[in-house]
């Protein structure tokens, strides 16, 4: 069997036992990519020679020695393009490594390629990419989710052993749910954002997309921890996230928020989630109904806070120092205006407009400030809930993967796809998604486990207990 199908842990065993050489690993992934990626288009960019070169020099004594990792095309890798799936960055070559990339290199990982995404991570379907859509490996007529859809599809289709994505409102967890893999959004401040092209700075986090919970724990361990170049990256000790894997969850209290089981949720998603909750009970966990009363305000708060931050962050793309510049303009303002009009896609323009409006004179208090205050209420809901439980269990997304084109003309419908994931970012918490079933038509369903700040260990422990006693994660998409 091709080693492309391995998890990080399995691959490391094979590498250390000398059953396989790192160059063979890269070659088998490149084979897999050339056979399935023409259908999926998970990758924006591959540099096979560079990956093979790193494989030759791989140091197997390092924790990720010889393990190829795919990187979302929003994280800077020195000497490689970082397009954020936007025309405005066409031709841009990153002059430096993001901190997470430095750390992956130091851990021995091989950087395999750059994965597709919604432009500047704005979207829930990977349809807002200047380089074309990525398709769901389980059903090619459906979206892989987004914005880290390329990373999720690559991992689920075994075109990568694991990947990095970013999560601002669900962009790791929702595609992980749609593609049937594990996705972890770390606590805000757990992972350095240095070298990540910013979307919404108070919400963005980099995290792993993997084939197993143990892999997510290991990959997080490699990228987490304080960084002097990101002063929002907290000095909290980054523990061994794998330490509690395998510890039983008997006696642990898991909260189930009543507000997450309301109208609009797909019946098969609800049934799979309820079944997972019963499964936790069988494993000895105590299930407690909790309330997060401000849940229904999270999308409204998010789309003001995130777009306001985005409108400021994306002001840097002005065609002066890097990226595209419109030609034939008469003056500076026309150069700015046309560069940005030609360079940005529709969703990015829409969000810049909304954010600019929310911050503009006369509207700031009514929109941005109010949204920030509602955000405090959302956070208080979680703080209160975590007095009664150690983790919270919910569906990751109200529906399984939707069809390509189904929501592109209705931005609000697209935004509602993130209803169960967004509050976690607003509150700065950690959460993961893992497979908890399939629909009758064969689409994966994701279960979300939310933890308090800095409690990744707990959600990984809970996720591992579930994963090890079910077999959803062993299924493979019908691509052959």
Could you give the string, one character per residue 189-208, with x where binding to another protein holds by CB under 8 A and - elsewhere?
x------------x------
Q: Which stretch binds another protein (CB under 8 A): 23-31, 68-76, 99-107, 360-368?
A: 360-368
Q: Does 275 bind another protein (CB under 8 A)?
A: no
Residue closer to another protein, measured from CB, 32 or 324: 324
The reply to whether 72 belongs to the active site is yes
CB of 349 to another protein, least distance (A): 6
Q: Which stretch binds another protein (CB under 8 A): 100-108, 128-136, 318-326, 439-447?
A: 318-326
CB neighbour list of residue 237: distance below 8 Å, 6 or more residues apart: none
Q: Does 234 bind another protein (CB under 8 A)?
A: yes
Q: How many Cβ atoms sit within 10 Å of the Cβ of residue 16? A: 12
Q: How many Cβ atoms sit within 10 Å of the Cβ of residue 424? A: 28
Q: How many Cβ atoms sit within 10 Å of the Cβ of residue 438? A: 17
Among 433, 466, 301, which residue's Cα sits nearest to residue 372? 301
**Consecutive H or E run containing 8:** helix 8-16
Residue closer to another protein, measured from CB, 374 or 459: 374
The reply to whether 39 belongs to the active site is no
CB of 171 to another protein, least distance (A): 19
Binding residue for another protein (CB under 8 A) from 68, 183, 323, 444? 323
Binding residue for another protein (CB under 8 A) from 135, 142, 324, 407? 324
DSSP letter (8 states) at residue 79: T
Q: Kindly name the residue from 86, 147, 301, 397 that is annotated as catalytic.
A: 147
Binding residue for another protein (CB under 8 A) from 39, 56, 373, 476? 373
Binding residue for another protein (CB under 8 A) from 132, 334, 442, 469? 334
Put the strands of the sheet holding 43-46 in their side by side order.
43-46, 110-115, 68-72, 162-167, 205-210, 182-185, 430-438, 444-451, 391-395, 253-257, 286-290
Binding residue for another protein (CB under 8 A) from 329, 408, 470, 479? 329
Q: Does 428 bind another protein (CB under 8 A)?
A: yes
Q: Are 96 and 195 in contact (CB under 8 A)?
A: yes
Binding residue for another protein (CB under 8 A) from 105, 338, 455, 475? 338
Pairing mode, strands 205-210 and 162-167: antiparallel
Residue closer to another protein, measured from CB, 97 or 467: 97
* Dist CA 253 CA 256 (whole Å): 10
Binding residue for another protein (CB under 8 A) from 372, 408, 468, 470? 372
Q: Kindly name the residue from 28, 41, 54, 72 that is annotated as catalytic.
A: 72
Binding residue for another protein (CB under 8 A) from 194, 336, 386, 402? 336
The reply to whether 147 belongs to the active site is yes
* Dist CA 82 CA 44 (whole Å): 10
The residues facing 446 across adjacent strands are 435
Peptide bond between residue 147 and the one before it cis (omega within 30 degrees of 0): yes
Binding residue for another protein (CB under 8 A) from 45, 322, 364, 438? 322
Residue closer to another protein, measured from CB, 34 or 360: 360
Per residue in 200-228, is it b (16+ CB within 10 Å) or e — as a string? bbbbbbbbbbbbbbbbbbbbbbbbbbbbe
Residue ranges in 386-421 assigned as alpha helix (H): 411-416
Binding residue for another protein (CB under 8 A) from 141, 240, 278, 296? 296
Residue ranges in 138-287 assigned as alpha helix (H): 149-156, 173-179, 213-223, 267-282
Could you give the string, one character per residue 91-120, with x where binding to another protein holds by CB under 8 A and - elsewhere?
xxx-xx------------------------
CA 90 to each of CA 40, 324, 327, 449: distance values in angstroms, whole numbers, following the listed order: 21, 7, 15, 37
DSSP letters of 271-319?
HHHHHHHHHHHHTTPEEEEE--TTGGGHHHHHHHHHHHHHHHHGGG-SS
CB of 108 to another protein, least distance (A): 24
CB neighbour list of residue 340: distance below 8 Å, 6 or more residues apart: 88, 317, 318, 319
Binding residue for another protein (CB under 8 A) from 120, 138, 260, 303? 303
Residues that bind another protein (CB under 8 A): 91-93, 95-96, 188-189, 202, 228, 231-232, 234-235, 294, 296-297, 299-301, 303-304, 311, 315, 318-325, 329, 331-338, 340-341, 344, 346, 349-350, 352-354, 356-357, 360, 362-363, 366-367, 369-374, 376-377, 411-412, 415, 428
Looking at the annotation, which residues are catalytic? 72, 147, 171
């Amino acid at each position: 069997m091709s080693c492309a199908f391995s998890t990080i842990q399995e691959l490391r065993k094979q590498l250390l036992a000398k059953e396989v050489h790192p160059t063979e690993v890269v070659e088998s992934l490149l084979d897999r990519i050339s056979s399935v990626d023409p259908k999926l288009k998970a990758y924006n960019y591959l540099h096979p020679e560079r990956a093979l070169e790193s494989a030759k020099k791989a140091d197997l004594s390092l924790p990720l020695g010889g393990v190829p990792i795919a990187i979302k095309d929003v994280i800077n890798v020195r000497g490689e393009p970082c397009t954020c799936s936007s025309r405005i960055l066409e031709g841009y070559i990153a002059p430096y490594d993001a901190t997470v990339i430095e750390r992956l290199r130091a851990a021995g990982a091989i950087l395999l390629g750059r994965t597709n995404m919604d432009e500047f991570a704005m979207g829930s379907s990977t349809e807002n990419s200047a380089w074309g859509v990525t398709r769901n490996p389980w059903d090619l007529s459906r979206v892989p989710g987004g914005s880290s859809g390329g990373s999720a599809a690559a991992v689920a289709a075994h075109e990568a052993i694991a990947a990095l994505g970013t999560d601002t409102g669900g962009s790791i967890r929702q595609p992980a749910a749609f593609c049937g893999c594990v996705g972890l959004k770390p606590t805000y401040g757990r992972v350095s954002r240095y070298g990540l092209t910013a979307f919404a700075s108070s919400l963005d986090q980099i995290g792993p997309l993997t084939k197993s919970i143990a892999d997510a724990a290991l990959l997080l361990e490699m990228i987490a921890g304080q960084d002097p170049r990101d002063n929002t990256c907290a000095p909290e000790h980054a523990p061994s996230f794998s330490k509690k894997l395998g510890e039983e969850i008997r006696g642990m209290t898991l909260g189930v928020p009543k507000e997450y089981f309301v109208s609009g949720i797909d019946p098969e998603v609800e049934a799979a989630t309820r079944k997972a909750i019963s499964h936790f009970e069988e494993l000895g966990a105590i299930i407690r109904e909790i309330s997060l009363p401000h849940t229904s305000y999270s999308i409204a708060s998010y789309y003001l806070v995130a777009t306001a931050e985005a409108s400021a962050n994306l002001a840097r793309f002005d065609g002066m120092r890097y990226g595209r510049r419109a030609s034939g303009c008469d003056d500076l303002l026309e150069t700015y205006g046309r560069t940005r009009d030609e360079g940005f896609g529709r969703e990015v323009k829409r969000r810049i407009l909304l954010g600019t409006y929310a911050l503009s004179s006369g509207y700031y208090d009514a929109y941005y400030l109010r949204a920030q205050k509602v955000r405090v209420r959302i956070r208080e809901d979680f703080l209160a809930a975590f007095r009664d439980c150690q983790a919270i269990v919910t569906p990751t997304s109200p529906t399984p993967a939707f069809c390509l084109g189904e929501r592109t003309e209705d931005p609000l419908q697209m935004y509602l796809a993130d209803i169960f994931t967004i509050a976690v970012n607003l509150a700065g918490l950690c959460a993961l998604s893992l497979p908890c079933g399939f629909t009758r038509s064969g689409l994966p369903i994701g279960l979300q486990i939310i933890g308090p700040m800095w409690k990744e260990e707990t959600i990984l422990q809970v996720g591992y207990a579930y994963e090890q006693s079910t077999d959803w994660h062993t299924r493979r998409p019908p691509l052959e």
